[in-house]
């Protein structure tokens, strides 16, 4: 694929790149086959700028405390603030401008085409990824957010032009189709953050394509699609910011988050959700507030296994600890 030429954006000739007036059936059919698509110009430059400014307010704690974030000195500038954060989960729960992105018209058009008329959001993630920050190894989002009907869909809003150099998303087109959740293991690779890596799948890096996009585009991807991002190797002082919202059908249960006591897995349905389109057949169950706005570890101060809390060691740390064993 030709590298992103920002001056020539939007892309009109490249498969999988659409504009908001696209035919919903064409969107649906490309997505069913490939497991991803790009909706260009979903957000205009003023909206993108406002979201970047809001990201600073969130990081500064102006929208409420961020769990696991260290207190910030009062006198540091915006760049110093942003460089301290890689990814904040659930910003839609503290910020109205972030929550408003869930209702973006171009986004709803794609979601109702690829999921169905009734759609809810359960998660958002604000990636800052300043120069030098790691990416996330190969994974499938349903590893983390299990839907019953495989309707999980990420909507990755580019807040900067996302390029190979600054760590755009990479996807393996069609890798969602087998419907298999591949095993995951610790990678020990400094290019990536603390999340585990999917292994044992029948594709290799040559099957992957970079999804370079202009700021304001949204990359949509299926919860079974293998995807990853590499570190931001662009010059110091630059960012690859993205706001990712996760959606699913309202019909599916969502066994995610803290399992309520006395509720079987079959009946477990997290109600910490926002209905963004259509109707929720379970609205009589009410809605909850379970998840906190939280900073995700980026690996700088170590990683641990989310299940066992055992420490995870990067390969270079292991080499320092036992240089002879690795000689």
Ligand X SMILES: O=C(O)CCC(=O)C(=O)O
* Closest distance of CB 49 from ligand X, Å: 20
User: For residues 237-296, which are near ligand X according to CB under 6 A?
Assistant: 242, 244
Identify residues 133-162 at the interface with ligand X (CB under 6 A). 135-136, 141, 154, 156
Closer Cβ to ligand X, 136 or 147, answer by number: 136
- CB of residue 10 to ligand X, shortest distance in Å: 21
Give me the least distance between CB of 229 and ligand X, in Å please: 3
* Token representation of residue 15: 């498969």
Instruction: Give the residue nearest to ligand X (CB).
Output: 229
Provide the pairing of β-strand 136-139 with 227-229: antiparallel
Instruction: Give the binding-site size for ligand X (rule: CB under 6 A).
Output: 11
Q: Is 111 in the site for ligand X (CB under 6 A)?
A: no
Distance of CA 224 to the CA centre of its chain: 13
CA 38 to CA 220: how far, in whole Å?
A: 6
Verify cis geometry, omega within 30 degrees of 0, for the bond prior to 10: yes
**Shortest reach from residue 203's CB to ligand X, in Å:** 16
Q: Which long-range contacts (CB under 8 A, 24 or more apart) does 26-30 make?
A: 27/109, 27/110, 27/113, 27/114, 28/113, 28/114
Instruction: Choose which of 109, 176, 227, 241 interacts with ligand X (CB under 6 A).
Output: 227
CA-CA distances (angstroms) from residue 286 to 20, 99, 117, 176? 33, 19, 20, 32
Secondary structure of residue 31 in the 3-state scheme: helix
Q: Is 232 in the site for ligand X (CB under 6 A)?
A: no
Q: Residue 226 region, left (φ>0) first, then alpha (ψ -120 to 50), else beta? A: beta
Q: How far is the CB of 127 from ligand X (least distance, A)?
A: 5
Residue 141 or 197 having the CB closest to ligand X: 141
Name which position in 127, 192, 220, 239 contacts ligand X (CB under 6 A): 127
Enumerate binding residues for ligand X (CB under 6 A): 125, 127, 135-136, 141, 154, 156, 227, 229, 242, 244
């Amino acid at each position: 694929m030709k590298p992103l030429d920002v001056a020539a954006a939007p892309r009109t000739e490249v498969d999988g790149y659409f504009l908001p007036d696209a035919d919903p059936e064409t969107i649906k059919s490309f997505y069913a086959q490939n497991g991803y698509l790009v909706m260009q110009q979903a957000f205009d430059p003023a909206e993108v700028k406002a979201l970047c400014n809001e990201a600073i307010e969130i990081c500064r704690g102006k929208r409420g405390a961020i769990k696991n974030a260290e207190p910030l000195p009062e006198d540091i500038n915006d760049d110093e603030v942003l460089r301290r954060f890689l990814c904040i989960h659930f910003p839609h729960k503290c910020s109205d401008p972030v929550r408003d992105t869930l209702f973006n018209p171009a986004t709803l058009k794609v979601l109702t085409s690829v999921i169905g008329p009734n759609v809810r959001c359960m998660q958002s993630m604000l990636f800052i990824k300043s120069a030098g920050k790691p990416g996330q190894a190969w994974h499938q989002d349903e590893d983390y957010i299990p839907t019953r009907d495989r309707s999980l869909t990420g909507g990755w809003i580019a807040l900067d032009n996302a390029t190979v150099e600054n760590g755009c998303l990479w996807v393996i087109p069609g890798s969602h189709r087998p419907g298999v959740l591949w095993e995951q293991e610790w990678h020990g690779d400094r290019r990536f953050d603390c999340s585990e890596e999917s292994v044992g799948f029948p594709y290799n890096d040559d099957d992957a394509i970079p999804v370079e996009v202009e700021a304001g585009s949204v990359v949509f991807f299926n919860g079974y699609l293998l995807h990853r991002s590499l570190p931001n190797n662009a010059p110091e002082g630059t960012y690859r910011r993205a706001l990712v919202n996760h959606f699913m059908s309202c019909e599916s249960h969502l066994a995610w988050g803290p399992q309520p006591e006395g509720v079987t897995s079959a009946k477990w349905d997290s109600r910490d959700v926002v209905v963004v389109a259509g109707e929720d057949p379970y609205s009589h169950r009410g809605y909850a507030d379970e998840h906190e706005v939280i900073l995700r570890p980026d690996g700088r101060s170590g990683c641990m296994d989310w299940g066992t809390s055992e420490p995870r060691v990067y390969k270079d740390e292991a080499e320092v600890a036992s240089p002879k064993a690795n000689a």
